[in-house]
Amino acid sequence: MKKILLVGNPNVGKSVMFSRLSGARVVVSNYPGTTVDYTKSRMRVEGKEYEIVDLPGTFSLEPKDKAEEVACKMLEEAKPHTAAVIDVIDATAVERGLYLTLELIERGYPVVVALNMSDAARDRKIKIDVKKLERILGVPVVETIATTGAGLKELVSKIGKAKPTDIEAVKRRLRREKK
């Protein structure tokens, strides 16, 4: 069964998003040999059934603690079976979240970015050009508010559009934007 993996920095709303996407059919497990929890369930997207997994929070694919180590190991083990990696980014701290996004793209994962807490970003007068970010990264980008469910329907509709992106093309687009 193909997997949808929720990944992102700690405290960006991955678990709230997971709960909204999966409903009540949740299984909490410990990764073998650790006390680090992860949560999984099943969901249907366009008539296909997927396993959805909420990974422990991580800032990078170069782990610095046990939770990050588990997240990275689970990403690697699931890679051949991954339909999409939903990279949840705090919309009030986009730059911090993009480090992990670029690592995921560089390693060939099919990524969809969820700019979560977009309401908080708007309240702080933070403006994000979603179309421009999507163009630069070469992956779907969706504004979401996990606590209310806003944007989740659009996010789910983008799962089928997730595909690996050429990191060199992303770097070229970034260089052009800096000029």
- Whether the CA torsion 68, 2, 157, 108 is positive or negative: it is positive
d(CA 97, CA 115): 9
Model confidence at 32: pLDDT above 60: no
| 162 phi/psi in degrees, rounded to 5 | -70, 130
Q: Where are the alpha helices (DSSP H) in 24-178?
A: 66-78, 94-106, 118-123, 130-137, 152-158, 167-178
Give the domain CATH number at 132: 3.40.50.300
pLDDT computed for residue 177 by the predictor: 86
Lowest-pLDDT choice from 67-71, 120-124, 133-137, 148-152: 67-71
Task: Please determine, for residue 45, whether its predicted confidence score (pLDDT) is greater than 70.
Answer: yes
Question: With bands split at pLDDT 50, 70 and 90, how would you rate the model's confidence at 25?
Answer: low
Q: Report the predicted TM-score, pTM, of the whole model to 2 decimal places.
A: 0.92
What residues contact 172, with CB distance under 8 A and at least 6 apart?
none
pLDDT of 92 over the 50 cut: yes
Mean pLDDT over 167-171 rounds to 94
Task: Report the pLDDT averaged over residues 144-154.
Answer: 96
Average pLDDT over the chain, rounded to whole? 91
Q: How many other C-beta atoms are found inside a 10 Å radius of the C-beta of residue 9? A: 19
Domain residues for the domain of 152 are 3-178
Question: Percent of the chain, pLDDT > 70?
Answer: 93
Q: Domain count of the chain?
A: 1
Higher pLDDT, 15 or 30: 15
pLDDT on residue 34: 46
